[in-house]
Amino acid sequence: MQSEKSGILWVVGAFLFWGIMPIYWKHLEHVQSDEILTGRIVWAFVSTVLAVLILKNGRHLITDIRELWKSQSQFWSLFIATVLISGNWFTYIWAVNHNYIVQTSLGYYFNPLVSVLLGIIFLKERLSSSQKVAFLLAFTGVIILTVSYGRIPWIALCLAITFAIYGFIKKNIKLDALRGLAIETLFITPFAIGYYVYLFMNGQAVFLHGDIKTDTLLILTGIATALPLVMYAKGVQLIPLYVAGFIQYIAPTLMLFIGVVVYKESFGGIELLSFSLIWAALILFTVSKVYESIATKKAAHGSSK
């Protein structure tokens, strides 16, 4: 029981961290999104490798890389996952710094439903009647937003789809969270360093050409990337998955609050209607998953007697 409480605290902490991250990126809005992403990749690699070495897991990291290389399908799957999460990071940073925080929150609200959709397509999973209604509600919400905007909310859909596919791939690759992030950033760091060299050679780099505050914030993007991921990985092992499912909505709710209240982004009647449908869908979907989980546990407990 104590370990479950500890797990909940770790996971809540991770999603609180993710939820307030728009404020962090806003302090870097004078830096181009491509440079922020480049710095985030490089410093995430540096910080995770340092953490691995401090924890004396260097040998395990090398073993992980060797085992991945033996399974070429997993190796290249992780590479694809790395490209997807890099695209997700870029879209998120760009959206926050171009005043689309409300759309980013929509993307992360919508993400769990996209994950389930992937399960239906690739794993032939089936939905209950209530889950089908949940999908219909969410789809209606997106359609209303699309008609209202006069265009597809591509930021939200891009964030939801890339993160869902990333999670789907990672689910089938068993790696320690910290060492896994080190390997993922290792894949993409050579490209990031090459791009940084290009920025410096063309006089476009802000890093080391601006103030100390900017340089410090760019360096700390590595820790800001790694820390909540490790917190989440540590906590999610100690709690039921459906509990983590409930907690995950902390992040987009905070993003929505920050976008509307702190940065005064538009949120009128149409947005409220659309989000209300999506919130209703998520409540219905999550509650149905909780009942499924409880029923499965009862059935397993009954059969073990």
pLDDT value for 281: 86
Q: How far apart are CA 26 and CA 21, in angstroms?
A: 9
In DSSP notation, 12-80 reads HHHHHHHHHHHHHHHTTTTS-HHHHHHHHHHHHHHHHHHHHHHTT-HHHHHHHHHHHHHSHHHHHHHHH
Task: Locate the domains of the chain by residue range.
Answer: 2-300
Contact between 108 and 252 (Cβ < 8 Å): yes
Kindly report the number of other CB atoms within 10 A of residue 293's CB atom: 15
Kindly report the number of other CB atoms within 10 A of residue 290's CB atom: 15
Contacts of 153 (CB under 8 A, 6+ apart): 103, 106, 142, 145, 146
Contacts of 54 (CB under 8 A, 6+ apart): none
pLDDT value for 171: 77
Using the structure block, give the residue that is written with the tokens 């728009």.
Answer: 22
Token pair listed for 207: 């890093």
pLDDT value for 2: 66
**pTM of the complete model:** 0.86
Contact between 172 and 180 (Cβ < 8 Å): no
The beta-strand segments (E) located in 110-252 are none
pLDDT value for 187: 95
pLDDT value for 89: 93
pLDDT in tens, 72-129: 999 999 999 999 999 999 999 999 999 999 999 988 888 877 877 887 888 777 777 8
pLDDT value for 303: 59
* Helix (H) and strand (E) counts in the chain: 12, 0
Q: For the chain, which residues score pLDDT lower than 70?
A: 1-2, 241-242, 297, 299-305
Main-chain phi, psi angles of 271, to 5 degrees: -60, -40
Helix, strand, coil % in the chain, rounded to nearest 5: 85, 0, 15
Token pair listed for 305: 């007697």
Of 101, 102, 108, nearest to 282 by C-alpha is: 108
Kindly report the number of other CB atoms within 10 A of residue 257's CB atom: 14
Contact between 219 and 43 (Cβ < 8 Å): yes
For the chain, the C-alpha Rg in angstroms (whole number) is 20
